[in-house]
Chains A and B, each alone.
Chain A
Amino acid sequence: MHKELSDLINRNVSGANAVAYLTADAKKFDSSITVETSHIYKVVEFLKTNKTTSFNSLHCISGVDYTDYMEVCYMLTNYDPSAVRNLTLKVRVTDRVNAAIDSVVGQFVSADFLEREVYDMFGIKFNNHPDMRRILCPDDWEGFPLRKDYVAQKDYNGMTVYPDNKMNMEDREFIVRQNMIKKAQAEKAQ
């Protein structure tokens, strides 16, 4: 199913470079199609307007941080029971500092808040988005919380985020000690 879909995308959207990633059980939602980052709008437009697929709902956009690159996943759905029901579409964002991809709000209005949430948590900007602001965190928040290299703020508006008298320091020291032991064991093994 994903194989045919990726061929269909490649035939109709030039330069999309769709690659199907298949898992053993095709009925599970783990299978996906990865497309070129710059062509995401055209691919989504094609999948929506085209008669054979006609995905009529975008129900989720999520970001993933793989430390050396980031990924944005689009979950498309078709409510017609006779058609292909679900599709996971993925694009890669390699530039972490100026991460930016095209917005799909022009095709699916539901992408508005979903893209804002991805921006809030991962710092990926969406070009041509009507209202690119943070959605969950306050406007003066520093950093993007779901990135792997995120460091929590010490103070926010005069409030201490981790007050020492309320933290269980024994637990924290235990974790630090365990990490040191693991490191030493790994070095020994080498």
Chain B
Amino acid sequence: MQDGVVLTTLDEFLNWGRKNSLWPMTFGLACCAIEMMATGAAKYDLERFGCGAFMATPRRADLMIVAGTVTLKMATRVKVLYEQMAEPKYVISMGSCANKGGPYWQYGYHVLKGVDEVVPVDVYVPGCPPRPEALIEGVMTLQKKIANERLLRNKWVKHA
């Protein structure tokens, strides 16, 4: 009997489930998406973190990796995609362009200066583009963040 019982808190159990099955959306905007693909492929294997199941629709995804330059034309689409995702949902801003406009920050008339202008961002990954190790670091940082969530203080519950 004593081997068949595991005691844990509900918070920890929910967070354990959430952080180990982050499903990202198949969504790439520019050259950062190439690094994201490399991260998902065999050599870096994002599946080790339960994060490799790239979903083809926002409705089945938990995580949006904004990989690349967000132009003003795309920004409205990014916002729609974020709104289509089911809660709880997380956003990783990958690369300089998505963080703050990147090389287009001063004279880029067509580029949004950071994706955080339109969607709330959980983790920023710096680099141009970031290496796969950097994206994995970002994913692990997000997992740590999810592990510390409290169900009743959760922003998703508050908004419900």
Contact = CB atoms under 8 A, between A and B. Distances in A.
A159 B112 contact: yes
A168 interface: yes
Interface string B103-119: 00110011011100110
Interface residues on B, range: 10 to 19
Contact of A145 (B73, B75, B109, B112): B109
Contact of A157 (B72, B100, B101, B109): B72
A171 B105 CA distance: 12
B75, B76, B110, most chain A CB atoms within 10 A = B110
A156 interface: yes
Contact of A161 (B72, B73, B118): B72
A168 B106 contact: yes
Contact of A137 (B73, B106, B112): B73
Interface in B69-122: 72-73, 75-76, 100-101, 105-106, 109-110, 112-114, 117-118
Contacts, number: 38
Contacts of B76: 157
B144 to A, nearest CB: 27
A171 B106 contact: yes
Contact of B100 (A145, A150, A161, A166): A166
A171 B113 CA distance: 16
A153 interface: yes
B116 to A, nearest CB: 10
Contacts of A163: 113, 117
Contacts of B75: 157, 159
Interface of B: 72-73, 75-76, 100-101, 105-106, 109-110, 112-114, 117-118
Enumerate the 5 nearest inter-chain pairs by beta-carbon distance, A residue then B residue, closest first. Answer: A152-B109, A138-B73, A166-B113, A156-B72, A163-B113
